[in-house]
Amino acid sequence: MDNVTKARINLFAILRNIEDLCEMDPVSKDLIKDVKLGVEFNVPEVGSAVLTFADGKCKFTRGKGKSALKLYFTSPEHFNNLIAPPIDAKTGKPKMVIPIFYNVFKAGFLLNQFTKLAERLSYYLQPAPDKKDELLKDPDYFYANTVLTAYTAFYAMSEIANSDFVGKAIAKRMPDGVIACEVNGGPAMNITVKNHKFVTNKGKVAEPRATMVFGDMQFAHDLLNGKTSSFTGMGTGQFQVKGYVEMLEQMAKLLTQVSIYLA
């Protein structure tokens, strides 16, 4: 597994979920209700991104931007350890990972609200195995878990296509065009392919070259969690694809790579 690609996924696919988390999760919304702050993350070989908190909302922006708190990481591995801290052999607890930061007066946010937001994100994306089934019985939790998982997977797909050795080989076989992905009753996303480079965005598009439609949230959840397959869905009508077949075939290969990185 490539550490640079892993860091790109952590920054541009997982961390960006805080934007949606603060909309869907009441606890997260309450954590940021009085926060007015831009936080910039800078990772070598990966790039930068900004989380802007204002008016009770959060917005994720790729690249540098207006920010009072700037965080710098020494390597992709350093940033990966912030997102998934290593376990201390003596205590059995995650080690605290501290980035280099500019503006010590804003560091309290990093140690307080941001840490709690990261815990809430993990609560939805990586629930404890012994509690997962019970949590998923709650319709609100199920919806948030499925939406955040879908966003993570499809944003990660572009990072893998643009960075990972195998992903780039798959991308070289992809023609230009837009692939629309939609979950009935849930989110819509689109992936633009141009000159073998991928960009994921939220929302519907007017004239995609290929489309992928999940029949409902339950099927999307089961497929994204490995409980069913696209072939089963096509047989039952729960998974519909149309358009340029070559794009969809290569996209299926990229989804396999996504499962390796997010395992």
Hey, which CATH number is domain 161-262, 3.30.360.10, 3.30.1050.10, 2.30.30.60, 3.70.10.10?
3.30.1050.10
Q: Could you tell me how many residues make up the chain? A: 263
Mean pLDDT computed over 123-152: 94
pLDDT at 130 (0 to 100): 93
Q: What is the CATH number of domain 3-126?
A: 3.30.1050.10
**Which residue carries 């019985």 as its tokens?**
137
Ranges of each domain in the chain:
3-126, 161-262
CA angle 49, 53, 59 (to 5 degrees): 50
Return the structure tokens found at 73. Answer: 């990481």
pLDDT tens-digit readout, 205-247: 989 999 999 999 999 999 888 888 888 888 898 988 899 988 9
C-beta of residue 84 within 8 angstroms of C-beta of residue 119: no
pTM: 0.92
User: How do residues 11-49 score in pLDDT, each as one tens digit?
Assistant: 999 999 999 999 999 999 999 999 999 999 999 999 999
Kindly state the average pLDDT of the residues 137-146.
96
CATH fold match for the domains 3-126 and 161-262? yes
Structure tokens at 58: 């959060």
Torsion of CA 133, 140, 128, 221, to 10 degrees: 70
pLDDT one-digit tens code per residue, 64-115: 999 999 999 999 999 999 888 777 667 767 676 777 777 666 778 887 899 8
Give CA–CA dist 16/56, Å, rounded. Answer: 16
